Amino acid sequence: MSDTKKFMFVNRKAPYGTVYALESLEVVLITAAFDQDVSLVFMDDGVYQLKKGQQTKGIETKNFSPAYRALEGYDIEKLYVEKEAMEARGLTEDDLLVDVTVLSRAEMGALMDEQDVVLSF
Amino acid sequence: MLHIINQSPMNSTTLDSCLNTANGGDILLIEDAVYAATRGSATEAKLRSAMGRFKIHVLMPDLEARGLGDRLMDGATPVDYSGFVELTVSNKTSQSWL
- Report the run of H or E that residue B28 belongs to, with start and end: strand B25-29
Smallest Cβ–Cβ distance between B66 and the set A18, A44, A54 belongs to A54
The whole-angstrom distance between A32's CA and the closest CA on chain B is: 26
Give B-chain residues touching A52 at CB under 8 angstroms.
67
The whole-angstrom distance between B91's CA and the closest CA on chain A is: 24
Among 3.40.50.1220, 1.10.10.10, 3.40.1260.10, 1.20.120.80, name the CATH number for the domain at B2-97: 3.40.1260.10
Alpha-carbon distance of A19 to A107, in angstroms, equals: 28
Instruction: Give domain limits for chain A.
Output: 6-120
How many CB atoms sit inside 10 A of residue B10's CB?
20
Q: Mutating which of B41, B68, B72, B81 best tests the A interface, going by the most A Cβ atoms within 10 A?
A: B68
- Report the run of H or E that residue A88 belongs to, with start and end: helix A83-88
Any idea which architecture A6-120 has in CATH?
3-Layer(aba) Sandwich (3.40)
What pLDDT, on the 0 to 100 scale, is given for residue A80? 98
Would you call B66 helix, strand, or coil by DSSP? coil
> What are the backbone angles phi and psi of residue A22, rounded to the nearest 5°?
-65, -40
How many CB atoms sit inside 10 A of residue A97's CB?
18
**pLDDT tens digit string along B29-84?**
999 999 999 999 999 999 999 999 999 999 999 999 999 999 999 999 999 999 99
Q: What residues of B are in the A interface, CB distance below 8 Å?
A: 6-8, 10-11, 31-32, 35, 38-42, 44, 60-62, 64-71
Alpha-carbon distance of A84 to B38, in angstroms, equals: 17
Q: How many whole angstroms from its chain centre is CA B54?
A: 10
Smallest Cβ–Cβ distance between A90 and the set B6, B40, B62 belongs to B40
Q: Which of B52, B59, B62, B63 is nearest to B86 (CA)?
A: B59
Contact indicator for A83, A108 with CB cutoff of 8 Å: no
Task: For the sheet with B94-97, list strands across it.
Answer: B77-79, B54-59, B25-29, B2-5, B94-97
Count residue pairs from A and B with Cβ separation < 8 A.
72
Q: Is A36 left (phi over 0), alpha (psi -120 to 50) or beta?
A: beta
Alpha-carbon distance of A91 to A81, in angstroms, equals: 11
Q: Mutating which of A59, A62, A63, A65 best tests the B interface, going by the most B Cβ atoms within 10 A?
A: A59
Cβ distance A45 to B11 less than 8 Å, yes or no, reads yes
Per-residue confidence of chain A (121 residues) as pLDDT tens digits?
568 899 999 999 999 999 999 999 999 998 888 889 999 999 999 999 999 999 999 999 999 999 999 999 999 999 999 999 999 999 999 999 999 999 999 999 999 999 999 999 9
What pLDDT, on the 0 to 100 scale, is given for residue A1? 52
What pLDDT, on the 0 to 100 scale, is given for residue A71? 95
What pLDDT, on the 0 to 100 scale, is given for residue A32? 83
What pLDDT, on the 0 to 100 scale, is given for residue A3? 81
